[in-house]
Amino acid sequence: MTSPTPLEERLVNLFKSEKYRSLLRESALKRRISIPVDFSDIMAFDPGYAANLVKDPLRYLEPLDRACYKQLQIEDPGYAASIRFFKARVTSLPEVTSIRGLRSEHLRTLVMVDGIISKTTGVKPILLEGRFRCRYCGTTQDILQTSPRLKTPEQCTNPACRGRRPSFELIQEESVYTDYQVIGVQEKPEDLPPGQLPRLVEVRARDDLVDVARPGDRVLVVGILQSVQERAGELPLKTFKLFIEAVSIETASKEPQAIQITAEEEKLFKKMAEDPFIHRKLVESVAPSIYGLEHLKEAILLLLVGGRTKIFPDGLRVRGEPNILLVGDPGTAKSQLLQYVASIAPRGIYTSGRGSTAAGLTAAVLREKSGGMVLEAGAMVLADMGVCCIDEIDKMRPEDRVAIHEAMAQQTVSVAKGGIVATLNARAAVLAAANPALGRYDPFRNFTENINLPITILSRFDLIFVLRDEPHPEHDRKVSAHISAMHTTGLPEKAAPIPPDILRKYLAYAKRFEPTVTPNAMKMLEEFYLQMRSMYERTSTVSITARQLESLIRLTEARARLALKSQADEEDAAAAILLMKRSLSEVGVDIDTGRPDIDVIMTGKPKSVRDKMALVVDTIKKFEEQHGYAADQELRASLLQAGLTEAEISRILARLITEGRVYTPRTGAYKVA
């Protein structure tokens, strides 16, 4: 081993502090090969060395590693002797360089970038020191691998081989390897300039930095900016590609708690929560440029804070994040609401269904140029622990919609393709918007006939609201006055009680609370559930299911969080029931009978439609027993007599044929499948 330099001797004193001695002892105990070293500690210890470390890390990092290893030899000599090297992982540089701001002037300097991991390759072993055997005499040599290409001995050390053409083979089992992985780090959505595509930088990780983070994780990467020559086929080009050789990778907390909240702000939030009208003020502060829609804004606030996520003793996880769907006529401010939520949420991703593929929403497995497979995270994964706003969800291709089923129910994204089998977290609340299938919402049709969305997706929304553009003189006057004020002064008529930056931090702070539902409030929710279920005896329709009871509990907890309460009381339960009633009255109603029927969104067929379909099938069976088939004219005459209209008969027959329950052996004849 080379003798220590004066710089190394000086740097050892940095690691003699109690902070780093305990970190070294802990690393030895847990068999780790590195410790994190805060750059501010290096700066305080030796400002000159700290400046040199940033300017020329290739030269100044090695003495830091050796000094760290030397102190480890004192703390735990046995462990130090068992390992070949030990790393000092420099973290928390004073300045973050944006991925978009990386330039040639940063080459071979220490930089820190902030972003989201969008893809990771598999972990591969990379050769550190190769042991080579001479094919003629069997003499072995150890060669350090410092270049990208495999470096072999130039000549055999045995004098008997002099003059011979050198020929060596690598002894793989006696060579030294380390783990190696390439990570793609992408700009964060909130840092993206308008209209720009997110930029991506390649990060090369080694040793214990591999697999420290997964696609979708937010990371702070400290590393040396390097370049590699690009090639066009076999010819090298004059241009170079940038990449970062990672020194440290820190996973930034995804929780909204990661937003820095000072003691003064905490005091302010607690004082705000004591106001008896805090809920009204919060609602008025949501999207003040959009007039009205108070019930929607209240629901959006509940979505932004969410309820408690529960994990039961048997391992079953129940989501705490509510999902909300807005269906409405054009021009009812759906898209503006979604974009507002994406900007105000501590973590918000906005995407449009028209331009989103299945892979873009969830995750994709792509093939690299080198032939390997790479996992790329989509919008739902990137919005983990936040809100995913999906506009025009009805415009997505049917095969793409299927991809979000799992993400909305289990809050995970599973991928099995190209040898990659992975499950990624997608613990995001979903706020989606859709336009009616016929252009405008038809109040005389059932909800499922108004929207081009499968039942499997509709049933996963906690609340569904219909926005209708109907002329009302008084309301229209107020909307026009509001829009005029916005366009002339740039400000709404009534200023928001809580500014957006304070509201954002308040919502992040509210998520720290874990309220429990009081027995009285829970009894209130149960009574509402049982009362709605008891309608079955009078109407023979199922008006509510256990899914809605779970939604009610989520909404009650979320409302308590908004007021920074530790317990959700009867007032919170009553507000949640009111929102649920509003949602059910708009979508969970059978238009034909006017009765509440949750099967409208759970199965797509209210009881009245199921009864009519059963009547048509039974009538076809009756004619089939007599003649072997049901003739079109006879069938229609019989059904008209039973009270069905011509339009209903045509619609039900078309639906039964589509579902495969009835088929036509020839024109004008029907048989039950």
What pLDDT digit, counting tens, does each position of 234-289 carry?
667 778 888 998 999 888 754 444 466 777 877 888 888 787 888 888 888 777 77
Considering the domain architecture, whether residues 516 and 657 belong to the same structural domain is answered as no
Last residue of a domain, one of 60, 91, 122: 91
Considering the domain architecture, whether residues 198 and 286 belong to the same structural domain is answered as no
Residue type, 75: E
Question: How many domains does the chain fold into?
Answer: 4
Q: What is the pLDDT of residue 539?
A: 42
Considering the domain architecture, whether residues 145 and 111 belong to the same structural domain is answered as yes
pLDDT at 543 over 60: no
Considering the domain architecture, whether residues 43 and 116 belong to the same structural domain is answered as no
Question: pLDDT by residue (tens digit) across 462-487?
Answer: 888 887 766 667 656 666 666 666 66
Establish if 47 belongs to a structural domain.
Answer: yes
pLDDT at 101 over 70: yes
Question: pLDDT by residue (tens digit) across 485-510?
Answer: 666 666 666 667 778 778 888 888 88
Considering the domain architecture, whether residues 131 and 57 belong to the same structural domain is answered as no
Question: pLDDT by residue (tens digit) across 549-597?
Answer: 888 888 888 888 888 888 888 888 888 888 887 877 766 544 344 444 4
Q: What is the CA radius of gyration of the chain?
A: 33
Establish if 652 belongs to a structural domain.
Answer: yes
Q: What is the pLDDT of residue 150?
A: 84
Establish if 470 belongs to a structural domain.
Answer: yes
Last residue of a domain, one of 39, 64, 91: 91
Establish if 599 belongs to a structural domain.
Answer: no
Question: 3-state DSSP helix/strand/coil percent for the chain, to nearest 5?
Answer: 45, 25, 35
Considering the domain architecture, whether residues 524 and 636 belong to the same structural domain is answered as no
Question: pLDDT by residue (tens digit) across 609-657?
Answer: 666 777 778 887 887 777 777 777 777 888 777 777 777 777 777 777 7
Establish if 592 belongs to a structural domain.
Answer: no
Q: What is the pLDDT of residue 239?
A: 81
Q: What is the mean pLDDT of residues 434-451?
A: 71
Domain CATH number, residue 154: 2.40.50.140
Considering the domain architecture, whether residues 87 and 105 belong to the same structural domain is answered as no
More confidently predicted of 429 and 365: 429
* Pairing between β-strand 176-186 and β-strand 140-144 as defined by DSSP bridges: unpaired
Torsion (CA) 158, 159, 164, 166 in degrees, nearest 10: 30
Considering the domain architecture, whether residues 171 and 70 belong to the same structural domain is answered as no
Domain CATH number, residue 667: 1.10.10.10
Considering the domain architecture, whether residues 343 and 405 belong to the same structural domain is answered as yes
Q: What is the pLDDT of residue 354?
A: 59
Considering the domain architecture, whether residues 121 and 75 belong to the same structural domain is answered as no
Q: What is the pLDDT of residue 419?
A: 64
Residue span of the structural domain in which 75 resides: 6-91
Question: pLDDT by residue (tens digit) across 314-357?
Answer: 777 777 788 888 887 777 777 778 877 887 777 777 877 655 55
Domain CATH number, residue 346: 3.40.50.300
Establish if 593 belongs to a structural domain.
Answer: no
Establish if 598 belongs to a structural domain.
Answer: no
Alpha-carbon gap, residue 372 to 149, rounded angstroms: 19
Q: What is the pLDDT of residue 538?
A: 46
Establish if 233 belongs to a structural domain.
Answer: yes
Question: pLDDT by residue (tens digit) across 139-197?
Answer: 888 888 877 788 888 888 888 787 788 888 888 888 888 888 888 888 876 676 666 67
Question: pLDDT by residue (tens digit) across 280-319?
Answer: 888 887 777 777 777 888 888 888 888 887 777 877 777 7
Residues with Cβ within 8 Å of residue 626, at least 6 apart in sequence: none
List the single range of 4-8, 30-34, 416-420, 606-610 with lowest mean pLDDT. Answer: 606-610
Q: What is the pLDDT of residue 537?
A: 45
Alpha-carbon gap, residue 661 to 614, rounded angstroms: 11
Considering the domain architecture, whether residues 87 and 213 belong to the same structural domain is answered as no
pLDDT at 203 over 70: yes
* The three-state (H, E, C) secondary structure of 585-619, written as one string: HHHCEECCCCEECCHHHHCCCCHHHHHHHHHHHHH
Last residue of a domain, one of 91, 108, 141: 91
Alpha helices in 181-333 (DSSP H): 263-273, 278-285, 294-305
Q: What is the pLDDT of residue 279?
A: 82
Considering the domain architecture, whether residues 71 and 205 belong to the same structural domain is answered as no
